[in-house]
Amino acid sequence: MSDEIKKGLLGIVVDETTISQVMPDINSLTYRGYAVQDLCEKCNFEEVAYLVLNGELPNKSELKKFKNQLEKNRNISINLREIVRHMPKKSHPMDVARTIVSVLGLEDKETTDNSPKANMRKVIRIFAKTPTAIAAFFRARKGKKIIPPKRNLSFAENFFYMCFGKVPSKDIVKAFDVSLILYAEHSFNVSTFTARTITSSLSDIHGAITGAIASLKGPLHGGANEEVMHMMSKIKKPENAFKWINKALDKKEVVMGFGHRVYKKGDSRVPTMEKYFKKVSKIQKDKKFIKIYDVVKSVMIERKNIHPNVDYPTGPTYHLMGFDTDFFTPIFVISRITGWSAHIMEQHAANKLIRPLSKYSGPDHRKVVLLNQR
Ligand SMILES: CC(C)(COP(=O)(O)OP(=O)(O)OC[C@H]1O[C@@H](n2cnc3c(N)ncnc32)[C@H](O)[C@@H]1OP(=O)(O)O)[C@@H](O)C(=O)NCCC(=O)NCCS
């Protein structure tokens, strides 16, 4: 057995997956064999969620049934609604999201049943209810009336409706839908690996998703979309961008929304999201962020040869849609629940306890000295 340390599991292949494939050399990401760019242009988020969870794109009747199941399960219990209403208003919405899934686990009658059928039923409930509870906190912390979900609205439309009380134009909804498709799945990233690790002890799906949310919160992972907006707010106007980014690089700062463990020549999701970010900027008649975006991106590529990741364009896009900055990563959650769930079910289907080794570098073997002699 080799005792070579691979910090961060860099370059280690730990298992197989049939869910998605990241091919950095040809800048490609596929879900179940379909390129994400293709899915973004030809499908809506519900079709992609079905694909990620079931392995195939749905036909019309399968999609109708799936959407119906989601719509039926959108309501949350009075108990959960009251818990959300009484959460400290200053709580980070990612901590609230984590607690929401944990509470859903307390309420679910099948929490400890890890059979494939029960898991799929639980996935539908978690996927349908989590956005409702997150949107409830979006409003409750501002002292606004909580808006219950509405049937006959798409996943994206309903989320806007629950947050703002209205559905924006088709183009804005499409841009949001595309962001959800791009966020749905990304192989063995930190949060997915966390979910699989929790699952490997035969723990339950609510616990695995709760752990995954905690992992996604970090700024080196999903929390980066929020940090991108903080950076843009600090830059304030396009004229400041060149000086700001050069100064940050001189100080060797990590610039959020750039770099990736797997993609070293650019993130395959960025061109699609960038296109929709530009569309949203045009619709909202606000070009400030796109100008800052272009300057920071060109300096990062020129000086460091480090390319943007998907969080770079999604951050300002969500801002232009009216979402509070600290809700950007919870939006990531409502989409990634699909990818995490597919991985949890895949892990259950061919489980092996995940338990790596460590190299000990602490004190040598020594004898315990009794308390009164220390
Ligand atoms: C994502 C990330 C953690 C990948 O990390 P990694 O694969 O371990 O790569 P490293 O952190 O070792 O980076 C390699 C080099 O590039 C630099 N680098 C990587 N990302 C950078 C960034 N965003 N800004 C500035 N420098 C960066 C590192 O400082 C390092 O330089 P060094 O060799 O001189 O020390 C890293 O790129 C990062 O912190 N990005 C910002 C956070 C972010 O956007 N996360 C979302 C990812 S989807």
User: In the prediction, which pLDDT does 1 show?
Assistant: 67
Beta bridge mates, 31: 20, 34
As a whole number of angstroms, the distance between CA 204 and CA 207 comes to 5
Residue type, 295: V
User: In the prediction, which pLDDT does 337 show?
Assistant: 98
Distance of CA 272 from the midpoint of ligand 1 (Å): 22
- Point out the catalytic residue in the list 186, 206, 260, 348: 260
Length of the chain in terms of residues written: 374
For 333, other C-beta atoms within 10 Å of its C-beta total 27
User: In the prediction, which pLDDT does 264 show?
Assistant: 85
Whether pTM > 0.85 for this model: the answer is: yes
As a whole number of angstroms, the distance between CA 351 and CA 346 comes to 8
User: In the prediction, which pLDDT does 24 show?
Assistant: 82
Tokens linked to 371: 């308390």
pLDDT means per 10 residues, the chain with 374 residues, are 87 96 88 96 98 98 98 98 97 98 98 96 98 98 97 97 98 98 97 98 98 97 95 97 97 96 91 97 96 98 96 97 98 98 98 95 97 96
- Point out the catalytic residue in the list 177, 204, 311, 326: 311
Task: Please state the φ and ψ torsions of residue 362, each to the nearest 5 degrees.
Answer: -90, -165
Rg (CA), the chain: 22
Tokens linked to 334: 């409502």
Distance of CA 256 from the midpoint of ligand 1 (Å): 9
Span 59-80, pLDDT tens digits:
999 999 999 999 999 999 999 9
Judge contact between 200 and 354, C-beta under 8 A. Answer: yes
| Domains (range + CATH), the chain | 8-220+328-349 (1.10.580.10), 224-321 (1.10.230.10)
Q: In b/e form, how buried is each residue of 220-254, taking b as 16+ CB within 10 angstroms?
A: ebbbbbbbbbebbeebeebeebeebbeebeeeeee
Burial environment of residue 300 by CB neighbours within 10 A (0 to 12, 13 to 18, 19 or more): buried
Active site residue 311: yes
Tokens linked to 246: 């050069």
Is the CB of 126 within 6 Å of ligand 1?
A: no
As a whole number of angstroms, the distance between CA 109 and CA 118 comes to 10
Tokens linked to 288: 């400030």
Active site residue 307: no
Tokens linked to 332: 């990531």
Distance of CA 112 from the midpoint of ligand 1 (Å): 39
Task: Return the ligand 1 atom nearest residue 262 CA.
Answer: 7
Is the CB of 311 within 6 Å of ligand 1?
A: yes
Tokens linked to 321: 């849609």
User: In the prediction, which pLDDT does 344 show?
Assistant: 98
